[in-house]
Amino acid sequence: MEGTEVRKLAALEARHWWYQERRHLLADAIRGLEPGLAIDIGAAGGGNTMVLRQAGWRATALEYSADGAEVAHERGLPVLRSDATNLPLADDSQDLVVAFDILEHLEDDDAAVREVRRVLRPTGTYLVAVPADPRLWSAHDEAVQHVRRYTRAELLGLLDRGGFEVDDVRSWNVLLRPVVALRRRVSTGSDLDDLHPAVNAALRGIIVAERYLPLRRLPGVSLLVRARPRG
């Protein structure tokens, strides 16, 4: 992701409905886990890293771009600058690895998953989020430098090849998928826009409603996975 997009994200994420709900999903996913060492891969400005640290994890933001690393540092977070396919971490050293919206940026996503398997402890947890469905490919994906969008089978196959057992997989942003599909047919760039407060509140209400509805197997805009190392 380009530096301008990273800084736009950092400015928007505190109030934007999409980032607010994504932080909720992360907080929900780690509930019940014993806090330990964690790495947030592709952390950008560190919004998700802050969620981890607030929950008691000794979490570090790992970011490739100078802009993202600088923003995370400005927020007082411990930061490592590195490629996700060559993690500067010891084998079996992490209790939790978070990779939200990073695998789709990498040409060699298999290498990135293998690296997570290397650094994650046998009892550790791997949380993954990726954009779903190649049919939703648009100018937005190009603007934020995506290489691909995933089908469910592709993502599960990737994790299986990398040595992981999947405990849970679900779709997210299901209710708004038709709106996203229509918007992206005519979009000319990134969807990372500041919204009118009323629009933001309405979209926030819709996405929060998904918490209580049986939508996890329906087509969505994103896929979320919780996995663990295969013994």
Predicted local distance difference test score (pLDDT) of residue 13:
84
User: What pLDDT, in 10s, does the model give residues 54-107?
Assistant: 999 999 999 998 988 999 999 999 999 999 999 999 999 999 999 999 999 999
Residue pair 225/26 in contact (Cβ under 8 Å)? The answer is no
User: What pLDDT, in 10s, does the model give residues 178-216?
Assistant: 999 888 877 766 766 778 999 999 999 999 999 999 999
Predicted local distance difference test score (pLDDT) of residue 91:
98
Global pTM value? 0.93
User: What pLDDT, in 10s, does the model give residues 139-155?
Assistant: 889 988 899 999 999 99
Using 50, 70 and 90 to split pLDDT, how confident is the model at 11? confident
Residue the block writes with tokens 């060559």: 86
Structure tokens at 70: 């600088």
- The beta-carbon contacts of 177-180 under 8 Å, at least 24 apart in sequence, are 177/136, 177/219, 177/220, 177/221, 180/136, 180/221
Q: Domain spanning 3-229 has what CATH number?
A: 3.40.50.150
Where are the chain's structural domains?
3-229
2 has pLDDT over 60: no
Sequence-ordered list of residues with C-beta below 8 angstroms from that of 18, at least 6 positions apart, any chain: 173, 203, 207
Radius of gyration of the chain (CA): 17
Predicted local distance difference test score (pLDDT) of residue 1:
52
